[in-house]
A and B are shown apart, each in its own frame.
Chain A
Amino acid sequence: MVEELIIAGFGGQGVMVMGQILSYAGMHEGKNVSWIPSYGPEMRGGTANCSVVVSDEPIASPIVTEPTTAIVMNRPSLDRFEPMVQPGGLLIYNSSLIDRAPERTDIRVIAVPANELGEEVGSDKVANMVVLGAYIKARGTVSFETVGQCLAEVLPARRHDLIPLNLEALKRGAELVK
């Protein structure tokens, strides 16, 4: 199994954290992982992305140019990364904020109304976790149990009271995917 992801969105939507949680979970399951942030002059409201590789084999290149999965949280990210997904790959997009449907027909596409579903479980701040839940259900890259254990590692201590809400959001996202 080699999963090469690009996770992209506005700064502040939690795309870096999504990638970190996947990386920690993969590492704890004994897999090889790498995580590279885009590090341009990003700021809240600008666009940001990270490249994540989770693999059973040693990782040759951590640079992702043809992702097996793209997770896009806003419209500019959909426009940029949809064409790059490998044929047969997966595209998950945040349909709460993106006003067009993806055009590719040679890949699997999952629409996640992430902000609405986040609101449903308590806050649209966990929209990223809703999407992560949908992703993990769709690909099975890591287990939900491991991801749950990683939250305390990735989230700063002052946010640990939000772990139950994050778990709820992961579950809500997973329910969306058959």
Chain B
Amino acid sequence: MAGRKLFKGNEAVAEAAIRAGCRFFFGYPITPQNEIPEYMSRRLPEVGGTFVQAESEVAAINMVYGAAGAGARVMTSSSSPGISLKQEGISYLAGAQLPCLIVNMVRGGPGLGGIAPAQSDYFQATKGGGHGDYRLIVYAPASVQEMVDLTLGAYDVAERYRIPVMILGDGVLGQMMEPVSFPEGSEPENAPQRPEPEWATRGARGGRAPRIVSSIYLKPEELYKHNLRLQEQFKRAEAAETRYEEVRTDDAEVLLVAYGTTSRVCRSAVEKLRTAGVRAGLFRPITVSPFPYKALGERARQVKAVLTVEMSLGQMVDDVRIAVAGAAPVDFLGTTGGVVPKAADIVERAAALARHGAADQATREGIS
């Protein structure tokens, strides 16, 4: 088929970022995302961009702060331990309302952990990560093509709300190759000229009023107002940018909830369950922050049981419980340390829930 090329997830996110206007990359190597800086080091100079391998993750994220403060489309990428090191800078970026793109190809933790795929940075990505009252916009792609599609729009979203955007992948998504196609006309040489953002600090030549990029507000009343402004921006993003996908949920009695690589395994489990006569469906958050609480809550009302599946010992399941709000029992199946859940295990648990979920319903209605 014309136009399709095999890309690793890491290379795809890098190419998509460039096509979205990224001209600055600052990073420090770590497995399993090294193909991103490798690709950027070769490709960015071809489009007039700048690649810097910084002396540390802390330096890299502060270079992102500098470039973003000047209104450039800038990116950094890392994996779990490296993202932890970047959290101070991410908090400052959020505080200063600087749009940028951060990619985390998650590996097993805590500590140095391992290099195999994990989803154990969900709390860090969606609940703050750094200090202070802020949220990021966090996308959780489930395929290499979706990695491209979400990255292509990431800067527009980040700039619309002046909130840093994170792509939350994992080792499998970074290393996997799948066919992708880039939209016609998205080649970097066709990139439109972007006007200078009205907050960018590029020198007040020509007599315009000076602009200040800062996250310091020493008067409590001012910081209060500033944080309300940040929250209002996030609420706007929540209303307009929350995204999710549903697979065979129309008549589902057991609802699987999963994101990223785990959602792919769940999709396989849904097919097997349907073949076995169990009406299973999948709810897949695409934005994990803002989380699709409303849509999941509505869907949960029709099902006998919800099963959250994660490559962690239970992080997103907290958001699922908030969304479901008691409308159905919420069960959890998790793997940790770099182990990917098996479809067979998910099938077994979901099939049991289809039976017990029914029993549970009967109990609640006083039938049994």
Interface pair A63/B261, CB less than 8 Å apart: yes
Q: Which of B4, B6, B32, B264 has the most CB of A within 10 A?
A: B6
A39 to B116, CA, bound (A): 8
B94 at the interface (CB under 8 A from A): no
Contact flag A63-B177 (CB < 8 Å), given A36-B172, A39-B32? no
Cα of A66 to Cα of B1 in the assembled complex, Å: 29
| Whole-angstrom CA separation of A130 from B116 in the bound complex | 32
Q: Assuming A24-B6, A27-B6, A40-B115, is B178 touching A63 (CB within 8 A)?
A: no
Q: Assess the B177–A39 pair: CB atoms within 8 A.
A: no
User: How many interface contacts (CB-CB < 8 Å) are there between A and B?
Assistant: 61
Give the nearest-CB partner of A35 in chain B: B177
Instruction: Tell me the smallest distance from the CB of B4 to a CB of chain A, in Å.
Output: 6
Q: How far is the CB of A16 from chain B (nearest CB, A)?
A: 10
A37 to B115, CA, bound (A): 13
Write the B113-129 contact mask toward A (1 if CB under 8 angstroms, else 0): 00110000000000000
B264 contacts A63, CB within 8 Å?
yes
| Complex alpha-carbon distance, A59 and B268, angstroms | 8
Bitwise interface map of B from 189 to 202 toward A, beta carbon under 8 Å scored 1, else 0: 00000000000000
Q: Which chain B positions have C-beta within 8 A of A24? A: 6
A contact residues around B179 at 8 Å (CB): 27, 32-33
Beta-carbon contacts under 8 Å, B255-269 to A: 261, 264-265, 267-268
The listed residue (A30, A32, A39, A61) touching B268 by CB distance below 8 A is A61
Give the complex CA separation of A24 and B267 in angstroms. Answer: 24
Docked complex Cα distance between A30 and B3 (Å): 11
Closest to A51 in B: B176
Q: Assuming the A-B contacts A23-B6, A40-B115, are A61 and B264 also in contact, with contact meaning beta carbons closer than 8 angstroms in the complex? A: yes
Cβ of B343 under 8 Å from chain A? yes
A20 at the interface (CB under 8 A from B): yes
In contact, B1 and A62 (Cβ under 8 angstroms): no
Q: Complex: how many Å from CA A62 to CA B268?
A: 9
B31 and A39 within 8 A (CB): yes
Q: Does A143 reach chain B (CB closer than 8 Å)? A: no
B238 at the interface (CB under 8 A from A): no
Is B265 within 8 A of A63, CB to CB? yes
CB of A34 closer than 8 Å to a CB of B: yes
- B264: chain A residues at CB < 8 Å are 59-63
**Complex interface: chain A residues within 8 A of B178 (CB):** 33-35, 59, 62
Known contacts A30-B1, A40-B115, A60-B268; is-contact A23 B177 (Cβ 8 Å): yes
Q: Is A149 part of the contact surface with B, judged by Cβ < 8 Å?
A: no
Which residue in A23, A33, A39, A66 is a CB contact (below 8 Å) of B115? Answer: A39
Q: A1-38 toward B: CB 8 Å interface, digit per residue (1/0)? A: 00000000000000000001001100110101111110
CA–CA, A145 to B1, complex, Å? 16
Residues of B near A65 (CB, < 8 A) are: 342-344
List of B residues within 8 angstroms of A63 by Cβ: 172, 261, 264-265, 340
* B159 close to chain A: CB less than 8 A: no
Cross-chain contact A39 with B175 (CB below 8 angstroms): yes
Q: Sample 30 A-B pairs with CB under 8 A, ordered by A number.
A: A20-B6, A20-B177, A23-B177, A27-B1, A28-B1, A32-B179, A34-B177, A35-B6, A35-B176, A35-B177, A36-B176, A39-B31, A39-B32, A39-B171, A40-B115, A40-B116, A41-B115, A59-B178, A60-B264, A60-B265, A60-B267, A60-B270, A61-B265, A61-B267, A62-B172, A63-B172, A63-B261, A63-B264, A63-B340, A65-B343
Nearest 10 Cβ contacts at the A-B interface: A61-B268, A60-B268, A60-B267, A35-B177, A61-B264, A61-B265, A36-B176, A27-B179, A34-B178, A39-B175
